């Protein structure tokens, strides 16, 4: 037989940010719990409002499934006598389990063979087990912060004031902390008045009649459509904001839409300042006209259908008026002097303890930015000038009345800087760079579009990463208080998006050079810091590329080589992956591994940057090599040497963006390499010949290893 189960946990207003998480957990706790109790069910739905969390289980079995359990007794060698009869140990065990000795069976365990009985466990009534278990499931809910409110041990995000529980249409008696469930609910936590609930159907009817929109998603949709409709009636259209719809849906259970106005004169404020003033405290929606400019109107939601709407609306308007007046006051104060003056106040704001002020940071970002700009567009004086200016002003808005001290408008850092830069008559490129240097702010955010913006964004993030590493503030495990991983990802996204040939290793080393490393708390040398930071970037690159579906071994092989340009890394990874897809990777990798594997063990590690460059240059120029070509005895040696030389000369000339070609050039040597190993006995008797061959192969291995550490690539089937 099946019944529906309904549980409503009645709370004093839960924080809006806790509701979705609580519902997710309830779903897991109930479905996992019922399954492990062997109580089958057809479906399970959770939903709720700030005042009630509701679980509805459809088609729940009223009795647990019967089950069998094997109880292990004594080992066979103890329980069974040599003549095959049961010993006292065995009969005693059977007796304790309430079965005849004849029912004993044997089970195989890791410790040997044991006697056992199979016991049937009868199913208990769902009503009985649920009474025991549901309070435990509710008690297992986790919230970011919990509280006590009475003398029970129950902890919850806010006080639980009632519990309604019905199995079928009959009350289910639960105890939760000091509460006992009853077949009653409350329409609001503001009252002690309770309403009888005769059944599950009646529960939903009651809430409907009371205009409580229980369904969380339905409520959000209702809010969205009502807001759109209200904006249309107000003569404009809604400034869409999914986040706000979501927040409001978790703040009210009976949304009632209202449309209000504010003084038209506030429209002279920058748009986002108005939108933020409406949204961030008051949770109002903004309305814009056909031309995309804001109208002096707002859409708000009250909780519950009230009489007296005009007075409520007047209250909303007064509060908003005060907030906008504050914003206007800040705006006027801030724009009374040029932005440059504000930048002058940055020397009074500590950036990070031990790393100086924001003014110091601005100076470093300017210096690093100048170098980065020269990598982007060598000789572009205008860009260099814009970068220098934008670096000086990028953080200036942090000293503004509007942004400082962590108020609602602090969210608008960068945006405010851009507005003020425009008012101060800065070049548009500079203003735009001030805003864009914060991009990307989150995963999926847009990237800087202007070159100056990208340059400052890179310089600022690299500076932050280097500074934090110097102070020993690098990410560890799940801890990343300065969001350096996100910063590193931002750097990579910008570089990959613009295909900018920026040598990241050199950028980091230059950035570190702008700090006094010896004063840093990490007490590490520049080289160690560089390695750590390189690792940070390599990890982010790995995550990005793995996320894009590239194979781990290929990514790892490229990142184990001394890469410098993220764009080069992705180009090579992509090319190798294509080869694997086309089936042409295996022979190529096999050949490259032959070069490495014949060398003594100590030469099979990943190649260092200097070694690789040296080998590449030597093979390209034919001078400075550690081997002597005149000692080559076989034609195959001369052929491979020539092939390597040709490849090396072209490799040297490759741009960072053309790195896919590097893979092709290496692959082009496959035939020559294979012929070499087929024809040449490397470890020959003649010491001079042998030593020379080793030296040549080490050079070749390092030239190849400069781009890819082939031993990391997993051999395909059939390979030895």
Partner 1 sequence: MTFQELVGALERFWSQAGCLLTAPYNSEVGAGTMNPATFLRVLGPEPWKAAYIEPSKRPKDGRYGENPNRVQQFTQFQVILKPSPEDVLPLYIRSLEAIGIDQERHDIRLLEDDWESPTLGASGLGWEVWLDGMEITQFTYFQQAGGLELDPISAEITYGLERICMYIQGVDDIMEIEWGDGVTWGDLNRQAEREFSAFHFEQADTALYFDVFERFHSEAMRLIGAGLILPAYDYVLKCSHIFNILDARGAISVSERTSYIGRIRDLARRTAEAWVAERERQGFPLLKKRARATRRRRSGR
Residues that bind partner 1 (CB under 8 A): 12-13, 15-17, 145, 147-151, 157-159, 161, 189-192, 251, 282, 300, 302-304, 306-308, 311-316, 318-320, 322, 350
User: Distances in Å between the alpha carbon of 715 and those of 356, 592, 605, 718?
Assistant: 51, 12, 17, 8
Q: Which is nearer to partner 1, 103 or 306 (CB)?
A: 306
Q: Which is nearer to partner 1, 329 or 552 (CB)?
A: 329
Q: In this complex, which beta carbon is closest to partner 1, that of residue 88 or of residue 148? A: 148
Question: Minimal CA–CA distance to 259: which of 212, 296, 306?
Answer: 296
Structure tokens at 436: 């864009």
Shortest Cβ 216–partner 1 spacing (Å) = 17
Name the helix (H) or strand (E) containing 175: strand 175-176
For residues 213 and 656, which CB has a smaller minimum distance to partner 1 in the complex?
Answer: 213
Residue in 412, 289, 399 with CA at minimum distance from that of residue 347: 399
Toward partner 1, which CB reaches closer, 12 or 646? Answer: 12
Question: Cα separation of 259 and 720, whole Å?
Answer: 75
Cα gap 230→286, rounded to integer Å: 11
Q: Give the C-alpha separation, 31 to 9, whole Å.
A: 17
Work out how close the CB of 157 gets to partner 1 at its nearest, in angstroms, rounded to a whole number. Answer: 8
| Nearer of residues 178 and 686 to partner 1, judged by Cβ | 178
Smaller CB distance to partner 1: residue 405 or 602?
405
- Distance between CA 41 and CA 444 in Å, rounded? 39
Three-state secondary structure readout of 376-429: HCCCCHHHHHHHHHHHHHCCHHHHCCCCCCCCHHHHHCCHHHHHHHHHCCCCHH
590's enclosing H/E stretch is helix 585-597
Q: Using the structure block, give the residue that is written with the tokens 């099979």.
A: 604
Smallest distance, partner 1 to C-beta of residue 401, A: 14
What is the rounded CA–CA span in Å between residue 676 and residue 665?
Answer: 17
Nearer to partner 1, 323 or 693 (CB): 323
Minimal distance, residue 152 CB to partner 1, in Å? 11
For every residue of 3-19, DSSP letters joined together read EEEEEEEEES---GGGH
Nearer to partner 1, 160 or 672 (CB): 160
Provide, rounded to whole angstroms, the least separation between the CB of residue 309 and partner 1: 9
Backbone angles phi, psi at 514, to 5 degrees: -85, -5
Characterize 382-410 residue by residue with b for buried, 16 or more Cβ atoms within 10 angstroms of its Cβ, and e for exposed: ebbbbbbbbbbbbbbbbbbbbbbeebbbb
Of the pair 233, 314, the CB lying nearest partner 1 is at 314
Q: How far is the CB of 191 from partner 1 (least distance, A)?
A: 5
Least Å distance between CB 302 and partner 1? 4
From the CB of 361, what's the least distance to partner 1, in Å? 17
Distance of CA 16 to the CA centre of its chain: 22
Count of positions (residues) in the chain:
720
Closest distance to partner 1 from the beta carbon of 249 (Å): 14
Structure tokens at 150: 């009475």
Q: Shortest gap between Cβ of 296 and partner 1 (angstroms)?
A: 17
């Amino acid at each position: 037989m099946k019944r529906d189960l309904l549980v409503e946990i009645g709370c004093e207003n839960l924080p809006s940010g806790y509701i979705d998480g609580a519902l997710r957990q309830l779903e897991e706790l109930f479905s996992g719990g019922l399954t492990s109790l062997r109580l089958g069910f057809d479906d399970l739905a959770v939903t709720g409002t700030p005042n009630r969390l509701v679980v509805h289980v459809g088609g729940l079995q009223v009795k647990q499934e019967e089950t069998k359990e094997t109880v292990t007794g004594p080992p066979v060698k103890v329980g069974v006598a040599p003549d095959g009869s049961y010993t006292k140990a065995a009969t005693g065990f059977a007796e304790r389990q309430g079965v005849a000795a004849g029912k004993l069976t044997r089970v195989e365990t890791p410790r040997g063979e044991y006697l056992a009985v199979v016991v049937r466990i009868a199913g208990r009534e769902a009503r009985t087990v649920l009474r025991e278990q549901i309070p435990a499931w509710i008690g297992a809910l986790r919230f970011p912060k919990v509280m006590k409110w009475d003398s029970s041990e129950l902890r919850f995000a806010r006080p639980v004031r009632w519990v309604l529980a019905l199995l079928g249409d009959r009350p289910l008696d639960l105890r939760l902390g000091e509460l006992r469930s009853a077949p009653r609910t409350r329409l609001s936590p503001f009252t002690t008045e309770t309403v009888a609930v005769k059944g599950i159907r009646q529960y939903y009817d009651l809430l409907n009649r009371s205009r409580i929109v229980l369904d969380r998603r339905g409520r959000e949709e209702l809010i969205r459509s009502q807001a759109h409709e209200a904006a249309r009636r107000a003569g404009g259209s809604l400034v869409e904001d999914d986040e706000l719809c979501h927040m409001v849906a978790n703040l009210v259970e009976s949304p009632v839409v209202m449309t209000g106005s504010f003084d038209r004169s506030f429209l002279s404020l920058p748009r986002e300042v108005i939108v933020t003033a409406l949204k961030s405290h008051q949770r109002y929606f903004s309305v814009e006209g056909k031309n995309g400019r804001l109208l002096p109107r707002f859409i708000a939601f009250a909780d519950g259908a009230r009489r007296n709407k005009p007075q409520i609306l007047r209250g909303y308007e007064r509060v908003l008026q005060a907030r906008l007046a504050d914003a206007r006051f800040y705006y006027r104060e801030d724009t009374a002097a040029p932005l440059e003056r504000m930048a002058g106040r940055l020397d009074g704001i500590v950036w990070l303890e031990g790393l100086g002020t924001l003014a110091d940071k601005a100076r470093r970002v300017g210096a690093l930015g100048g170098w980065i700009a020269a990598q982007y567009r060598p000789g572009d004086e205008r860009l260099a000038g814009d970068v220098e200016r934008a670096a000086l002003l990028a953080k200036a808005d942090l000293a503004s009345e509007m942004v400082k001290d962590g108020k609602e408008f602090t969210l608008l850092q960068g945006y405010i800087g851009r507005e003020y830069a425009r008012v101060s008559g800065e070049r548009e490129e500079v203003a735009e760079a001030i805003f864009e240097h914060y991009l990307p702010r989150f995963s999926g955010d847009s990237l800087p579009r202007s070159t100056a913006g990208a340059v400052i964004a890179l310089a600022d993030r690299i500076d932050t990463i280097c500074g934090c590493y110097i102070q020993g503030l690098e990410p560890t495990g799940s801890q990343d208080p300065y969001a350096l991983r996100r910063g590193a990802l931002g750097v990579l996204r910008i570089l990959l998006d613009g295909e900018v040939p920026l040598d990241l290793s050199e950028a980091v080393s230059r950035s570190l050079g702008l700090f006094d490393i010896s004063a840093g708390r990490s007490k590490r040398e520049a080289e160690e810091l560089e390695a750590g930071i390189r690792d940070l970037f390599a990890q982010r690159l790995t995550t990005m590329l793995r996320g894009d579906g590239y194979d781990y071994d290929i990514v790892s092989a490229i990142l184990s080589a001394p890469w410098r340009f993220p764009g080069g890394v992705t180009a090579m990874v992509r090319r190798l992956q294509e080869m694997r897809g086309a089936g042409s990777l295996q022979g190529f990798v096999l050949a490259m591994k032959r070069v490495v594997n014949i060398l003594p063990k100590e030469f099979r590690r990943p190649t260092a940057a200097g070694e690789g460059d040296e080998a590449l240059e030597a093979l390209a120029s034919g001078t400075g090599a550690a081997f002597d070509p005149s000692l080559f005895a076989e034609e195959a040696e001369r052929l491979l040497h020539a092939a390597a030389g040709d490849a090396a000369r072209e490799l040297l000339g490759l741009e960072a963006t053309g790195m896919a070609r590097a893979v092709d050039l290496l692959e082009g040597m496959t035939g020559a390499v294979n012929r070499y190993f087929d024809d040449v006995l490397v470890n020959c008797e003649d010491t001079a010949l042998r030593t020379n061959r080793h030296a040549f192969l080490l050079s070749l291995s390092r030239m190849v290893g400069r781009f890819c550490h082939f031993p990391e690539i997993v051999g395909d089937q059939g390979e030895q």
